[in-house]
């Protein structure tokens, strides 16, 4: 009964994070199969240390912390630079899973933009990529991102700033092909 209750409680808190965990792992590694393994390991490790009394608010950044540690461990084991290069090569040709690209009403420019963004994201150094994914894709707060990555808020801000600079540089290189989409974005108001 106790274990069932604990599993039920863990599922209530952890399962809603599954999509975000998988997306993050896939974008960090460029490998959907590996991402599934990492997410499974993350959940198992978290469950072992989990208490039903844990503060629900802290479960999400905690899960991401375990996941990111697992991703970084894997990257170090396989060679960080090789992983970044492989990521960029994969993502530049990878777009099948994204719903964004399956919408028939999307213009070619939008698909190119999406592909360029994925490639730019994949080409970021792993420490910047983690921040960019958590804040810009998963819309985590700076505080939760800092907790997930075991860094300070200031470091989140500085890494995010550097990540954005690199993303902007990469996206500028695709200006000619994504111009229609870029113009549409630039004309949008701030608020």
Partner 1 sequence: MTMQATDTTACDKLRMVIGAFVDGEADEVDANDVRTHLRTCASCRALAHELSAINQSLSALSEERAPEHLWPGIAARLEQADVTKPARRVRPSWRMAATACAILIAAFAIVVSMLPSRDVVQASVEDFITYRAKGWTVDSTAHDGRTVTEWAQARVPFAVPVVRDRIGVFEVGGVRLCWLLERRLLGVTYATGDDRAVLYIMEAGGLSLPQPNRVLGGNRQVAVEQHKGHGVAVWTENDLVFVLVAAEAVFDRILELAAQSMPRHARLAVQYPG
What b/e string do you get for 49-85 counting C-beta neighbours within 10 Å, with b at 16 or more?
ebeeeeeeeebbbbbbbbbbebbbebbeeeeeeebbe
If one asks whether residue 168 binds partner 1 (CB under 8 A), the answer comes out as yes
Segment contacting partner 1 by CB under 8 A, of 78-86, 87-95, 122-130, 162-170: 162-170
Angstrom distances, CA of residue 169 to CA of 28, 124, 144, 164, 179 = 20, 11, 27, 8, 14
Segment contacting partner 1 by CB under 8 A, of 78-86, 87-95, 122-130, 183-191: 183-191
If one asks whether residue 34 binds partner 1 (CB under 8 A), the answer comes out as no
Applying the rule CB under 8 A, the residues between 97 and 116 that interact with partner 1 are: 97-100, 113-114
Applying the rule CB under 8 A, the residues between 113 and 142 that interact with partner 1 are: 113-114, 117-118, 121, 132, 135-139, 141-142
> Based on CB atoms, which residue is closest to partner 1, 26 or 84?
26
At its nearest, how many Å lie between partner 1 and the CB of residue 93?
Answer: 17
- Distance CA(16)–CA(18), nearest Å, equals 6
At its nearest, how many Å lie between partner 1 and the CB of residue 14?
Answer: 8
Residues with Cβ within 8 Å of 107's Cβ and at least 6 positions away in sequence, in order, are 180, 181
Backbone CA torsion sign across 117, 119, 121, 124: negative
If one asks whether residue 160 binds partner 1 (CB under 8 A), the answer comes out as yes
Residues with Cβ within 8 Å of 119's Cβ and at least 6 positions away in sequence, in order, are 88, 91, 92, 170
In the complex, the residues that contact partner 1 under the rule CB under 8 A are: 2-3, 6-7, 10-11, 15, 18-23, 26-27, 32, 36, 39-40, 43-49, 66, 69, 73, 76-77, 97-100, 113-114, 117-118, 121, 132, 135-139, 141-142, 150, 157-158, 160-161, 164, 167-168, 171, 182, 185-186, 188, 190
């Amino acid at each position: 009964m106790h274990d069932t209750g604990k599993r039920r409680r863990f599922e209530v808190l952890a399962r809603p994070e599954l999509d975000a965990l998988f997306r993050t792992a896939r974008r960090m590694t460029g490998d959907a199969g590996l991402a599934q393994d990492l997410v499974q390991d993350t959940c198992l490790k978290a469950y072992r240390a989990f208490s039903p009394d844990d503060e629900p608010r802290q479960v999400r950044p905690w899960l991401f912390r375990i996941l990111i540690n697992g991703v970084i461990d894997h990257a170090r084991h396989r060679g960080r630079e090789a992983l970044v290069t492989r990521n960029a090569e994969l993502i530049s040709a990878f777009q099948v899973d994204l719903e964004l690209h399956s919408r028939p009403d999307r213009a070619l420019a939008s698909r190119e933009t999406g592909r360029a963004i994925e490639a730019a994201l994949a080409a970021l150094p792993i420490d910047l990529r983690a921040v960019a994914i958590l804040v810009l894709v998963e819309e985590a707060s700076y505080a939760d991102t800092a907790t997930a990555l075991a860094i300070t808020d200031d470091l989140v801000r500085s890494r995010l700033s550097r990540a954005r600079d690199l993303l902007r540089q990469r996206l500028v290189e695709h200006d000619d092909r994504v111009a229609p989409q870029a113009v549409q974005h630039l004309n949008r108001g701030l608020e």
